């Protein structure tokens, strides 16, 4: 049985094929997500870092020193959670707290040189992994794939009514 489509096409068969391609692509992305998540988790575990700590570190690496409250908003987590994550990153030497120059109640968090090195090593590892998996793909295919993935992400965010900050969205895309 052929599926009906809301789109128009010179040929009904082409419309059905496009719909099947959409479904196949989304199915492949859904199947790929757990594998990529597992690989990310294993990489972080080897480096003795949790995903929430890594996300906070990436926000600091990309956004510079931030107030604890700004980190909470960027990551959409509670102040208590921010404190716990920063405590762990401080203990590992990846971040440090700094006093606000004019507000004793506010605390900045900044990335340390060791934290920057860690982020750089993670980016370098991702670059190597991307070359291993996608090295022979032509630029046109990579651009088309990236466009589709960005469109899917954008539409998923819109469906969820995403209120995440730009920093949080940037971290989530990693």
Which residues, in sequence order, are CB contacts of 49 under 8 Å at separation 6+?
Answer: 57, 92, 118
pTM of the complete model: 0.72
Domain ranges for the chain: 49-172
Using CA atoms, how far apart are residues 171 and 76, in angstroms rounded to an integer?
11
> Considering only the top CATH level, what class is 49-172?
mainly alpha
Quick: pLDDT tens for 13-56: 778 899 999 999 999 999 999 999 999 999 899 988 999 999 99
Contact predicate 20/136, CB 8 Å: no
Which residues touch 17 (CB under 8 Å, ≥6 apart)?
Answer: none
pLDDT value for 14: 77
Predicted pLDDT at 32: 94
* pLDDT reading at 5 higher than 80: no
pLDDT in tens, 66-106: 999 999 999 999 999 999 999 999 999 999 999 888 888 88
Tokens linked to 25: 């692509």
């Amino acid at each position: 049985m052929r599926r009906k489509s809301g789109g128009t096409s010179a040929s009904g068969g082409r419309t059905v094929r496009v719909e099947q391609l959409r479904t196949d692509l989304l199915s492949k992305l859904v199947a790929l997500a757990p594998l990529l998540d597992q690989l990310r988790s294993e990489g972080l575990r080897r480096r003795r870092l949790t995903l929430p700590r890594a996300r906070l570190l990436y926000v600091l690496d990309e956004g510079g020193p931030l107030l604890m409250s700004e980190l909470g908003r960027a990551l959409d987590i509670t102040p208590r959670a921010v404190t716990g994550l920063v405590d762990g990153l401080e203990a590992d030497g990846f971040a440090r707290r700094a006093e606000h120059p004019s507000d004793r109640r506010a605390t900045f968090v900044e990335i340390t040189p060791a934290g920057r090195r860690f982020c750089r090593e993670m980016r370098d590892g991702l670059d190597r992994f991307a070359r291993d998996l996608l090295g022979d793909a032509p630029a046109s295919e990579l651009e088309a794939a990236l466009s589709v993935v960005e469109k899917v992400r954008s539409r998923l965010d819109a469906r969820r009514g995403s209120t995440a900050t730009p920093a949080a969205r940037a971290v989530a895309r990693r």
